[in-house]
Amino acid sequence: MVYELPNELFALLESGERTELEVLNKLQTDRWPPTEEGKKASEKRFIEESPTSLIDLPETTELFIKEELERLIPIAEQMWIDWRGKLPDDYVSPLK
C-alpha cells in the first residue's frame, strides 16, 4: 500500500521529532502510537477496573502511588478471595 506523506509529517520525520514507524502508524491509523506514559496510563486504568492483577502480577503495583494502593489492595484482595476462596499462599501484601 502506498501512502501520501503530508508536508507536516515529512517535517516531523525530517527533524527527528518522530520516527518512521511513528509516522507510518499515523498514516495507517490517523493516530500517533501511544507514548510510554500513555501505555502506563492505559494499563493503570485497566488495573483500576480489575484490580486482581495486583495480586498475581505484583510488578503492576509499581504503577501506583502508596495512597492508590491503600485504596486498591483491599478491593483486589476481596475480589480474589471471592473468586478463588483464598489469597495465593505466596502472596505478600505490598501494604506491609
- pLDDT tens-digit readout, 72-90: 999 999 999 999 999 999 9
pLDDT of the residue at 16: 95
The predicted model scores a pTM of: 0.71
d(CA 51, CA 61): 10
Whether 7 and 40 map to the same domain: the answer is no
Q: Residue 41: inside a domain, yes or no?
A: yes
Q: Residue 16: inside a domain, yes or no?
A: yes
Q: Residue 17: inside a domain, yes or no?
A: yes
Counting the structural domains of the chain, the total is 2
pLDDT of the residue at 85: 96
d(CA 75, CA 77): 5
For residue 12, the SS3 value is: helix
pLDDT of the residue at 3: 79
Tell me which residues of the chain have a pLDDT lower than 70. none
The residue range of the domain holding 55 is: 36-84
